[in-house]
Amino acid sequence: MVMVQVHLGMAADCNPVKLSPCLPFITGNKPPPPDSPCCNGLHEQKDCLCGYVKDPNVGKYLKMPGAKTVAKACNIAIPDPSKCH
């Protein structure tokens, strides 16, 4: 899978490629360890998550059931798109 950088009024440091280490966990059935590159990427990109969930190319992965498991394991919330401005 290829993730592209999106420009939806997001900050310049938003880069969804930094979330790519999470893909095996989102599409698999086991959560990542909290100190993994996946969790680190989620925390680095937390201010960008609203933009990502609204973007069809990235949001489809963040809306998968496995994304909730990953978010819980990483102690971060994936925002509800309806609550993003």
Please report the pLDDT score of residue 9 as a whole number: 47
pLDDT tens digits, 54-74:
999 999 999 999 999 999 999
In a domain, 47, yes or no: yes
Domain count, the chain: 1
Enumerate the H helices of the chain as residue ranges: 23-27, 37-44, 49-54, 56-62, 65-73
In a domain, 75, yes or no: yes
In a domain, 72, yes or no: yes
Please report the pLDDT score of residue 85 as a whole number: 78
pLDDT tens digits, 23-41:
999 999 788 998 899 999 9
Q: Is the pLDDT assigned to residue 1 strictly greater than 90?
A: no
User: Within 13 A of 52's CA, how many CA atoms are on the CB side?
Assistant: 26
Q: Which domain does 52 fall in, by range?
A: 16-83
Which CATH number characterizes residue 69's domain? Answer: 1.10.110.10
